[in-house]
Amino acid sequence: MRISMDGRGRWMDNVFIERLWRSLKYKCVYLHAFETGSELRTGLASWIASYNAHRPHLTLGGHTPGEAYHRTAPSPWPGHAPAMVTSSVLAA
């Protein structure tokens, strides 16, 4: 099996990361006149920290990505991604 990242009709392959980049550009980069690379780095780090720790996401049941990530169940198979806890568990 081969995973396509640019195949015809595969808009879902990149939709999540494209949405993140769009949010980053419109809510951080385009709103601030960063003068230096270090200012840009600091601004991006601040925005990403806020995005992950303070901004609730509708698709995560109103939780932040940090909350959702830290409430994952450990993987029974080492080296594999952990299983996500369902939204009913997140609400508890």
Query: What range does the domain containing 66 cover?
Result: 59-92
* Percentage of the chain lying above the pLDDT 70 cut: 63
Please name which of 77, 53, 48, 49 lies closest in space to residue 64, comparing C-alpha atoms: 53
Regarding whether 70 and 45 lie in a shared domain, the answer is: no
Task: Name the region of 62 (left: φ>0; alpha: ψ -120 to 50; beta: rest).
Answer: left
Domain check: are 44 and 89 in the same one? no
Q: What is the mean pLDDT of the chain?
A: 76
Residue 62 token pair: 């109103």
pLDDT per residue over 17-59, tens digit each? 888 899 999 999 999 999 999 999 999 999 999 988 888 888 8
Residues 47 and 76 in one domain: no
Does residue 11 carry a pLDDT above 70?
A: no
Task: Tell me how far apart the terminal alpha carbons of the chain are, to the nearest angstrom.
Answer: 39
